[in-house]
Structure formats: C-alpha cells, structure tokens
Chain A
Amino acid sequence: MFSFHSIKELINTLNRERDLLSELFEKRRIPFKEEYALELVDFREERLEFLKERGVVRSNGPYIEIDDQFLQFFELILEVNEEINTSYIHESIRQIRENILYYLQESNQGRKYSYLRAVKMSLRKIGRIMLRNVVDLNRNIENTFKTEPTYRVKIAKLENYDRKRQDITALLDQTERLLAEDEQTFFRAALDEELKQITTDLRFLMNESRHNLIEIQKQIIEYLNQIKYQSRVTEKLRQIKYLKDQFELRTRTDIDEVLGRSHSLIFEPNPSYPLKLSLEFLQTDEALQSILRTALKLKAASGTVGLPLADGIGDDYLRAETEREVIINLDELKNGFEASGNHLFGFVMNYTFPREVSFEERITLYCQMVSFYEKDLNVTETFGRHEGLEYAMVYPR
C-alpha cells in the first residue's frame, strides 16, 4: 500500500473524488456497490484503483466503503460520530501529563514553548470531545429506548451506555483533578493568558458535561425501570391470559379477592340519574318552549309511527234488528190433512195458513207434501182438475 507523499496530495485527491467520497460517506451505513462507485468516477477504474492503493476506500466483496481511518476522521471533524469513544480522551489526558512533565524538566525556552502548546491543544480538544460524547450518548440512549425492537438487546444496549456514562464521568473527574490538584505546579508556573482562558473554557464545558451526565443517568435509570416494568406487565399478562384460557384463573389465583377488594366505579354499568322536573321551573316561559317542542315531537312521532286506525263502527250497525218470517210447518199441515178426510189438493187449497199464501205457493206446498210424506200418503191414479191444472188425488193412508 502506498501512502500520500504530502498533505497537498491528500487534499487534492480528496477534492478530486469529492463526489464519490461524499456519496460513500452519506451511505456509510448501507452497502454500496462498486459498479455504482464507478459511475461517480466517470467509469475510470484507475481512479478507483488509486484511492484503494492509498487506503482511502476499501473493497468488501462486491461493495465498496470508506476506510475506517478516514471514516473516523470525517465523523470526528463533522461531529456526526455515533460511537462513543472514551479512549480518545483517555489518550489526551495521558499526553497532557507527559507534556507537562517534559515542560517542567526542559530548560530550553523554545522547546518548553512547544510542550506548552501541545498541552493547550490537548486541553482544548478534551472539553469539546467530552461534551460531544455526552451529547452523542444522550441521543443514542434515546434512540435505543425508542427504536430498538428486541427487548434483550435494548436492555443490554442501555446497560452498556450506562457503563460508557460511568467511563465519561471517571474521565471528567480525572481531568478535573488534573487541573485542580495534580499539576498545580505547571498551571502556576506556565500561567499565561491563553492557558488561563483555555482552562476556564474547559472548566465551563466540563461543568456542562457533568450536568448532562447527571441527567443521562436519571434518564437511563428511568428507561431501564420502564422497560422492566413493561416486561413485568407483559409477562404477568401472558401468565394470566394462559390461566384464563385454561379456565383456571378463578380457582388458582386470587382474582376473586382482588376484584372483591376493588370498588372502582369503572366496574359498574353506566349510571343514569333520573331526576324529577322542578315544578317551579315548569311554570316559567323558558320551560314552556321546551314543553311545546316536546309536544310537537311527540305529535310528529305518533303521526308517523302510530298504526292507522279504522273509523268507529256506526250505531246503525250495532242496533238489534228482528225480521219475522212465518214458516209453514209441514208436519202440522200433514196432521191437519190426516184429520180432515179431504183429498190433499183440496185440503191445501182451503187450509187457513197463519199468513197469506198465494195459489202458486199452495201448489208448491202440495208438491212438497207429496214428496216429503210419500210413505204416509196414498197417491192414487185418479186425477182431479183445477183451473187447467191436473193433479193426482192424494189421500191419507
């Protein structure tokens, strides 16, 4: 692998491939195919090859990605790093201590100055990185709590973040001790205006980080508690549901007792409070309007819903009416005939009926008598004549 000869070459290379690099950086979390990368270097494979040789990008199977070294550099500068890396601060603190030692032992002013500069640079960095880490930590915790779907991973992640938080707190303490106690000689001896400013800034940033960390600690504890509570509920619910489905819930748990103790209104059916109307109110004008409206509504309701009614039955239909009809009793007629000794036709013609009986009816009666009482009568072969009618002479037997 070749490396860059100069910073100029590096910057020129980065500038030339800015399209590809910015695209790769934006898509650093998803696999990026090498063939797409070729499009971004105008299909000139040698340019891609050059980047690979210099270790800027790396092939990973069919995919291509920015080398980790560069990726970290970009993330750090752009302050978008997701990973919380406390080793960096740790390293800086170590450097500061070393440089302070060199500074105190060095007598050459020029070299002394360069050590002082190194200390200042590290101090400046520490504060910023620390706060950055704290902010990242906060965001990561929130993201994990809200988006991590797997319960166990979520808890493990949160617990890890809690450990990170402890690390940062420890570093914070270390830095603070460095400034206030351990290297007092240096900070007094090397005191210049700039260093003073830097330490003040650092203290300010540390203060802010510390407050944030306390908040984070609270947050983590709360999140962990929430998750534990939720999982406890879920687990319990699962068990109860199981027992319920097995129809054992009432016999094997104390649900009866628990519910017996609870007198919450939520278990009661929705109550209604039917109250009597105020009589005084009903006499006011306001009430009158309501009454009229209600009456109207009732009327409308009865008009549409009520069954259609028939008119009352007229009196005429109910009046009792008698009709008289005189029925001629054929039996009586026969008895009378048997006693008379007359022949039937003569008898029927002269018989006094209870009502007026016409000639035609008398003839009908004659025929009826003959057909009804045929066995009791003696119908002879002799015929009599009456007004153009010929009739058989009938006698009683």
Chain B
Amino acid sequence: MNVPKQTGEIFDILSRGQFICSNSSRETIRRLYNVLEEHFDELRNYFGAIYFTLERGDEFFYFSRSESKTDLERKIETAYKWIDIMDFFKTFDSAFGPGYRFTPSDILVRLNVDAALKNKIEGLKKYSNDENYAESLRKIVRMLVNDNFIELENEISDSYKALSSFKYLEQLVLSIAIPEEVRSEIPE
C-alpha cells in the first residue's frame, strides 16, 4: 500500500489519543495536518487495516476504534472532568473556543472580581488537588495541554491557545440530548 512517509509520525501522535489540528502553532503538526488532508482516504484505509479509524473533525483529525477498549465508567469520568473544565473556561469568557488565546494570569486577575469564576475553580479542586488558585489553574491548564485541547503558544509570555480540537469537546456537549421536559426544569 502506498502511504506518505509521514505515516509513522501521524500514527505516533494519533495512537496516543492526541489530535492533529490545523491551527497548531507547531510547524510539524500543521505539516502533518496537510498530509492527512491530502491523503485522507489512503490513510483511512491504511489505519483501518490495523483497527484504528481515522476520524476527520472540523479542522482536526483523531483516532477512534471500531470497538471501545475502555468501559463506560471511565468515559463518564473523563467526560465529567471535561464538562467541569469547559464550564470554567466558558464562564471566564463565553467566546472561549478554537483559536482563543489566554494567559493563566488573565484568569487569575478575573478570579478576584468574579465570584462565579472563583466558585468554579473551587469546584475544580477535586481534579487539581491544590488549595492555591494559581497552582490549581496551572494544573488544570496542564491537563488540557496533555489532552491536546490547548497548547502553549509562547513560553515567554506564558500564553496559551485553544486548538481546533476544542471543538471536539463542544460537539460532545452538543450531542448530548436533553429531553424537553427536563430542559424546562433547568432554571435560566
């Protein structure tokens, strides 16, 4: 089978549950994105042969399997964590989404004047295990970096950027259906 020479690199990243995003600030990732875009069909077949499904999202690629290897509980746990974290960042700025840039210090400043935000970071302590807000936030940010939803764009100014893979989370949230009668019970 004829596959591009970057296939190994692509596999390395995707098979670890990471994303390849078009708006990454890393040149190599963008290059891989272009390769994927160009050879999508070949690569989909190729990876399909080793039981990985290459999935195309809006400006990002990721792997799934035909059959899950994790149990539902773990998935729920992960999804809960994401919901909490997303909720926190969306409270910080409702425009938080792919391409959004921020520095942790922006958020820390807002914590002092925004009680709702403060409340939410308290709620995130169960993931960060840290009393200190700055440290807690840093851990949360690192979690998102590790899951490949945001990345460190500038080390000197400590600024982060939300990757297009953040859309994966948004779509996950949108895909959960809330029955009409339940929705009417939720306060505005």
On A, residues with C-beta under 8 Å from B are 151, 230-234, 236-244, 248-250, 252-256, 258-260, 262-271
Contacts and interface: CB of A to CB of B under 8 A. Distances in A.
Nearest to B63: A265
A240 B72 contact: no
A263 B64 contact: yes
Contacts of A255: 76, 79, 176
A162 to B, nearest CB: 20
Interface stretch (B32-40, B89-97, B137-145, B152-160): B89-97
Given A259-B76, A264-B55, A151 B94 contact: yes
17 contacts: A236-B176, A237-B173, A241-B87, A243-B178, A244-B83, A250-B76, A253-B182, A258-B175, A263-B66, A264-B17, A265-B52, A266-B62, A267-B70, A268-B69, A269-B70, A270-B16, A271-B16
Contacts of B74: 267
A242 B179 CA distance: 14
Interface in B29-57: 52-53, 55
Nearest to B52: A265
A256 B97 contact: no
A25 to B, nearest CB: 33
Given A240-B83, A244-B80, A266-B147, 17 more contacts: A236-B176, A236-B178, A243-B186, A244-B84, A248-B182, A252-B179, A253-B177, A253-B179, A255-B76, A258-B172, A259-B72, A259-B76, A263-B64, A263-B65, A263-B67, A264-B64, A267-B78
B108 interface: no
B126 interface: no
A239 B97 contact: no
A197 to B, nearest CB: 46
B75 interface: yes
Contacts of B176: 236, 240, 253-255, 258
B170 interface: yes
A248 B178 CA distance: 11
B174 interface: yes
A268 to B, nearest CB: 5
A248 B79 CA distance: 14
Contacts of B148: 266
Contacts of A151: 94
Contacts of A249: 80
B173 A233 contact: yes
Interface string B161-173: 0000000101011
B98 to A, nearest CB: 10
User: Which of under 10, 10 to 19, 20 to 34, or 35 or more describes the interface residues of B?
Assistant: 35 or more
Contacts of B177: 253-254, 258
B84 A241 contact: yes
Contacts of A263: 53, 64-68
A241 B79 CA distance: 11
B173 A264 contact: no
B76 A256 contact: yes
A327 to B, nearest CB: 72
B75 A267 contact: yes
Given A252-B182, A254-B177, A265 B83 contact: no
Contacts of B14: 265
B178 A240 contact: yes
B182 A243 contact: yes
B7 interface: no
Contacts of B79: 255, 259
B107 interface: no
Contacts of B83: 237, 240-241, 244
Contacts of B64: 262-265
Contacts of B187: 242
Contacts of A244: 80, 83-84
Contacts of B90: 233-234, 237
Contacts of A230: 94-95, 97
CB-CB nearest 7 A-B residue pairs: A265-B17, A263-B68, A259-B75, A266-B17, A263-B65, A241-B87, A265-B63
B95 to A, nearest CB: 6
Nearest to A272: B16
A234 B70 contact: no
B86 interface: yes
B5 interface: no
A241 B17 CA distance: 25
B15 interface: yes
Contact of A256 (B18, B72, B182): B72
A357 B54 CA distance: 103
A237 B171 CA distance: 10
A201 to B, nearest CB: 40
Contacts of B69: 268
Contacts of B80: 244, 249
A391 B179 CA distance: 118
Contacts of B168: 264, 266
B86 to A, nearest CB: 6
A248 B64 CA distance: 28
Contacts of A234: 90, 94
Contact of B87 (A238, A252, A256, A269): A238
Nearest to A250: B76
Given A233-B97, A243-B182, A271-B16, A260 B72 contact: yes
B182 to A, nearest CB: 5
